[in-house]
Amino acid sequence: MRAYRSPSLSFTHVRTASTLLGALLLAASLLLVACGGSSLDQSAGNTTPAPSAQPAAPIPTGNIVTIEMITDDSGNYFKPKTVSARPGDVLRFVLVTGVHNVHFLPDSNANATNLPPMSTFAQLPGQAIEVPVTMGAGTYYFQCDPHAMLGMVGHVTVEP
């Protein structure tokens, strides 16, 4: 008897789950479109940026992991260039010198979900780009787009 009933039960369960997943994916893609649109608008305008010109971030629930963005005699670089974090933490990229952004390239993060969108550019010393850690456990590559070829790249390892 039990063996006879269970297939229909699990079928119902799977259908409900996939409907939910579809709704979530739809919501996520709408969110991505909205974020992409606003960052394009900001870089296209290229007017004086407000010091706090960043995408709205969720309320931080964990630690803040600070990474400096630097241009000096030794080049353009993130410091440190390798960090670890946990889901709910915030990566805080603080501009020290130069003009930089933060981009978790999808092409360089195969199979990653919930990657942060490409940031706008930080141009004022002290300006911070805050990136909530929304990705699952794993190691993720990020770069500054104009300086990636010059070695301005880094990795964050998200711990489970």
Q: Which residues contact Cu ion (rule: CB under 5 A)? A: 76, 100, 144, 147, 152
Q: How far is the CB of 71 from Cu ion (least distance, A)?
A: 7
Q: How far is the CB of 143 from Cu ion (least distance, A)?
A: 8
Q: How far is the CB of 50 from Cu ion (least distance, A)?
A: 20
Active site residue 100: yes
- Rounded Cα distance, 133 and 131, in Å: 6
Please identify which of the residues 69, 103, 118, 147 carries the catalytic annotation: 147
Q: Which is nearer to Cu ion, 99 or 138 (CB)?
A: 99
Q: Which is nearer to Cu ion, 133 or 152 (CB)?
A: 152
- Rounded Cα distance, 39 and 99, in Å: 16
Please identify which of the residues 69, 100, 103, 135 carries the catalytic annotation: 100
Active site residue 118: no
| Closest C-alpha among 132, 115, 5 to residue 56 | 132
Q: Which is nearer to Cu ion, 35 or 96 (CB)?
A: 96
Please identify which of the residues 69, 118, 135, 152 carries the catalytic annotation: 152
- Rounded Cα distance, 129 and 52, in Å: 8
Q: How far is the CB of 70 from Cu ion (least distance, A)?
A: 9
Radius of gyration of the chain (CA): 20
- Rounded Cα distance, 134 and 87, in Å: 6
Which helix (H) or strand (E) covers residue 8, if one does?
helix 2-45
Q: Which is nearer to Cu ion, 76 or 127 (CB)?
A: 76
Active site residue 144: yes
Number of C-alpha atoms within 13 angstroms, CB side, residue 128? 14
As annotated, the active-site residues are 100, 144, 147, 152
